[in-house]
Amino acid sequence: MELTTWFAYLGVITALIALPGPSSLLITLHGYQYGLKKSNHTIIGNMSGSFILMGLSALGLGLLLTTSETVFTLTKYIGASYLIYLGINSWRKSVVIDSNKASYNATFEKNSSLFKQGFLTGISNPKDLLFFTALFPAFLNDQQSLFMQLVILMTTWLVVDYMIKVIYVLMGKKINSKFSNPSFLKIFNRLTGGIFVGFGLLLASARSS
């Protein structure tokens, strides 16, 4: 892969990954609630979902979602249902007034639970599979090793994805330090919950093409 092509790809994916979406919202929320160390499990889970989608795209399964309305519809409704579930869960989340209790709850939130939430959010959107299927061919050279080019594209995506998601976590942590009071927490939970539900409804209404 030529360096100019790689720089073009880097610029495109940096802009795309930085755009707010369900994953960045969840990671910001966890940064607010749990801080960087624990939210790292959310990031890794989310990146694992992205990695699987990239792998499926490389195998051409994205074309299946493009051509099969039934598969696309089933997949998108599963993803939409999970996003709506996250939204309702965030909306109903109890407000912990005592700071010691809040610290306790954050400490004992299972890392596996954070990983699972990140993973399911990352892998639940069939649009991402279609996106990877459409994006990669634009930067591939049929005169070079397809495998090595895909390795470069996927590795670059994961590195940039991690860096930007850390920024989202730090944003959430900053919000916590500035507005760590029960009233703001209630508003923040309901706001993010509403946005998650909105993402879920948008996904449910999406078309495959």
Tell me if 3 is assigned to some domain. no
Tell me if 146 is assigned to some domain. yes
The reported pLDDT for the residue numbered 201 is 77
Tell me if 12 is assigned to some domain. no
Number of domains in the chain: 1
Tell me if 2 is assigned to some domain. no
Tell me if 51 is assigned to some domain. yes
Q: Which residue has the higher pLDDT, 122 or 20?
A: 122
Tell me if 7 is assigned to some domain. no
DSSP 119-134: HHHHHS-HHHHHHHHH
Q: What's the domain range around 81?
A: 24-204
Tell me if 16 is assigned to some domain. no
The reported pLDDT for the residue numbered 119 is 92
Tell me if 5 is assigned to some domain. no
Alpha-helical (H) ranges within the chain are 3-18, 22-58, 62-67, 69-92, 99-107, 111-123, 126-135, 146-179, 182-204
What proportion of the chain, given as a percentage, has pLDDT over 70? Answer: 67
Distance CA 117, CA 122 (A): 9
Q: Which residue has the higher pLDDT, 13 or 119?
A: 119
